[in-house]
Amino acid sequence: MSNLNKNKELLLPIVTTLGAYGEKARSAEDFSKMKVLVSHYETLLKHTQLLSGIMQDLISGDLGEIYFHLGDYIKAKKILKEIFFKSNKNYINNQIKWAQGLVYFGAVQRELGEYELGRKFLEQGLEIYKKQIPKNYENIAWSLSHLGNTYRNLGKVEKAKANLEESLTIYKRYFPENYSGIGQTLTNLGIVYSINGEYEKARVFLEESLLTFKKTKPENSLGIARTLVYLGYAYKELGYYEYAKKALEQSLKIYKAHFQSDHTDVAWVSVCLGDIYRLLGYFENSKEIIEKSIEIYKKKFKENHIDTTWASIYLGYVYTDLGYYEEAKELLEKGLVIYQATFCNNHIDIASLLRNLGKVYFKLADYQTTEKLLVKALSIFQKNNHPESYMCLEMLSELYQKNSIHTINTKNKNKHQYLKNKSINYLKKALETVKTHFPKYSPHITRIESKLRDLK
C-alpha cells in the first residue's frame, strides 16, 4: 500500500504539468492539442487506482473545461456536475479551482439554454473570486464577461451591460491593450448593444473587437469567427445584407475548419447565414441550410430545446416567404409557447416572434389576429425603447393600407380616407423611429420614404 501511495505522489507533478499544458492550449485555442489532452485524460481516469482523489478531480475538472472549449457542452456538463454535486473537498479547498469550475459550469448551463441555473453558478464563482482572491483580476473580468452574457440571454440588458463594462474596465486597467480578454468582452458588449437595438454602436464595438483579436490571434481564431457572426447580425439589422453575408460566410469557414460539419456551432452560424440568404431572396438555399442545422440540433438536444426551437423559428420565417403559411404558423406558434416558458413576457425575442407571426396571419388574410399580434409586439418593443418597433409600425401601415383598398369601391369614402390616414400615420412613426436610431443613409429610411411618397 505504501508503494502505491508513493507512486500516486509521483504522478501528481505529471498531472499538474498536464493541467498547465491544457491551460495554455485553451488560451491559445489550440484544438489539436486539446483533443490530444482529452485522450490522455480519459486514459488516466480509467486507472483510478493510480490516482489520488485530488488528482482525479483535477483531471476531471480540466477535462470538463476542455470539452467546454471544444463545444461539447453535454459532456462538459456531465463531468463538471459530478465534481460539484458530490461537494468534493479537494476542489472546495482549492479556491481558485473551485471558483473556476463554478464559472465553467455556469457557462456550460448557459450554452445549454439553462440561463437561470447558469446565472446562479456564475455568481457563486464570481463571489469567491472577489472575496477570496480579489487580486485575480483576469478571472474576475472573465467571470463578469460570462455573467454579462447570461443576463443578456435572460433579457436583463442593463445588468448585462453593467457586468460587461466592469469586465472591460478591469481588462483595460490591468492588461495590455491587445489582450484577448478585451476582444472577447468588446464582442459581448457589441452583442448587448445589438440586442438593445443600438446597431451602429454594436458595429463599432464588434469592429474594434476584430482589430483586437487580429493583433493576437490567427486569422482562423474562434474569437474572430464568433465576432464575425454578431457583426453579421448588426449589418443585417442595419440593412446591409451583402456585408452580413460576407461576414457570416467567413465565420462559417472558420468554424468548419475547427469542427465537424455536425457540430452545434456550425449549425448556429448556418442558421444565421440562412436568414441572410432569405433576406437576399435565396429562399431555397435558406431553407436547405436551416433544415440541415435543425437536424444537427435534434441529434444533440431535445426537439423542444431552446436552440432547436430558435432554428425552427427561422425556418418558419423562410416558410412564410415561400408561401407555406400553415407550416410557418405551426412552427412559430410552437416556438412562441417555448419562448414564453423560457423568457420573461417583455423579452425582445418574444416581441420579434409575435411580429413575424403577425406577418403569417396577414398572409392568411386574418387581419384581426394580425393587428392583435402586431400591437402586442409593438407594446413590448416600446416598453424596451427598442427601435425594432419600426417594423411593427411599418406592418401596421401595410395592414391599414390593405383595409383601405378594400373600401375604395364602396360608398363610404370617409372610412376609406380614415384607414388611409392611419396607414400614413403609422408609416410616419416608423420613419421617425428609423431616423432616430439608424444612420443617415440607412436603406430603411430610403424604403419607408418611398412608401410614404406612394401613399400620398
Shared domain check, 369 and 330: no
Q: What is the pLDDT of residue 430?
A: 96
- List, in sequence order, the alpha helices (H) in 112-198: 115-132, 137-153, 157-174, 180-195
Shared domain check, 441 and 397: yes
Instruction: Check pLDDT > 80 for residue 86.
Output: no
Q: What is the pLDDT of residue 265?
A: 95
If you ran DSSP here, which 8-state letter would residue 167 be given? H
Percent over 90 (pLDDT), the chain: 70
Residue 404 and residue 420 in contact, taking contact as beta carbons nearer than 8 Å: yes
Instruction: Check pLDDT > 80 for residue 93.
Output: no
Residue 162 and residue 126 in contact, taking contact as beta carbons nearer than 8 Å: no
Mean pLDDT for the stretch of residues 320-339 = 97
Residue 238 and residue 438 in contact, taking contact as beta carbons nearer than 8 Å: yes
Q: How confident is the model at residue 58 (pLDDT cuts 50, 70, 90)?
A: confident
Instruction: Check pLDDT > 80 for residue 242.
Output: yes
Residue 50 lies in a domain: yes
Q: How confident is the model at residue 85 (pLDDT cuts 50, 70, 90)?
A: low
Shared domain check, 291 and 322: yes
What's the CATH code of the domain at 275? Answer: 1.25.40.10
Instruction: Check pLDDT > 80 for residue 422.
Output: yes
Shared domain check, 77 and 30: yes
Q: What is the pLDDT of residue 8?
A: 58
Count of domains for the chain: 3
Cell 418558419 belongs to: 316
Q: Give long-range contacts, CB 8 A cutoff, 24+ apart: 41-45.
A: 41/66, 44/15
- Lowest-confidence pick of 7-11, 51-55, 95-99, 330-334: 7-11
Residue 200 and residue 238 in contact, taking contact as beta carbons nearer than 8 Å: yes
Residue 308 lies in a domain: yes
Shared domain check, 376 and 315: no
Cell 396571419 belongs to: 361
Shared domain check, 455 and 373: yes
Shared domain check, 369 and 338: no
Q: How confident is the model at residue 381 (pLDDT cuts 50, 70, 90)?
A: very high
Q: 3-class DSSP state for residue 282? A: coil
Q: What is the pLDDT of residue 305?
A: 92
Please identify, among 343, 378, 411, the residue that sits at the C-terminal boundary of a domain.
Answer: 343
Higher pLDDT, 198 or 13: 198
Shared domain check, 456 and 407: yes
Residue 244 lies in a domain: no
Higher pLDDT, 426 or 1: 426
Alpha carbons 264 and 71: distance in angstroms, whole number: 8
Shared domain check, 369 and 455: yes
Instruction: Check pLDDT > 80 for residue 410.
Output: no
Shared domain check, 309 and 264: yes
Reading the block at residue 301, the C-alpha cell is 438536444
Higher pLDDT, 66 or 1: 66
Residues 300-327 pLDDT 10s: 998 889 999 999 999 999 999 999 999 9
Q: 3-class DSSP state for residue 363? A: helix
Residue 443 lies in a domain: yes
Please identify, among 92, 114, 144, the residue that sits at the C-terminal boundary of a domain.
Answer: 92
Residue 72 and residue 64 in contact, taking contact as beta carbons nearer than 8 Å: no
Q: What is the pLDDT of residue 1?
A: 41
What dihedral do alpha carbons 115, 121, 122, 125 form, nearest 10°? 180
Alpha carbons 182 and 176: distance in angstroms, whole number: 9
Higher pLDDT, 39 or 165: 165
Residue 34 CB neighbours (<10 A): 19
Annotate 89-132 with DSSP letters as a single string.
Answer: HHHHTSHHHHHHHHHHHHHHHHHTT-HHHHHHHHHHHHHHHHHH
Q: What is the pLDDT of residue 262?
A: 95
Burial profile 241-261: b = 16 or more Cβ within 10 angstroms, e = fewer: bebbbbbbebbbebbbebbee
Shared domain check, 374 and 307: no
Residue 237 lies in a domain: no
Instruction: Check pLDDT > 70 for residue 88.
Output: no
Q: How confident is the model at residue 404 (pLDDT cuts 50, 70, 90)?
A: confident
Helix axes 199-216, 180-195, angle to 10 degrees: 160
Residue 108 lies in a domain: no
- Lowest-confidence pick of 15-24, 66-75, 371-380: 15-24
Residue 393 lies in a domain: yes
Amino acid at the residue 245: K
Q: What is the pLDDT of residue 73?
A: 92
Mean pLDDT for the stretch of residues 402-418 = 80
* Domain boundaries, position 299: 259-343
CA angle 322, 323, 325 (to 5 degrees): 125
Shared domain check, 399 and 326: no
Q: How confident is the model at residue 61 (pLDDT cuts 50, 70, 90)?
A: confident
Residue 442 lies in a domain: yes
Residue 84 CB neighbours (<10 A): 18
Sign of CA dihedral 253, 255, 261, 262: negative
- Give me the chain's average pLDDT, please: 91
Q: What is the pLDDT of residue 209?
A: 96
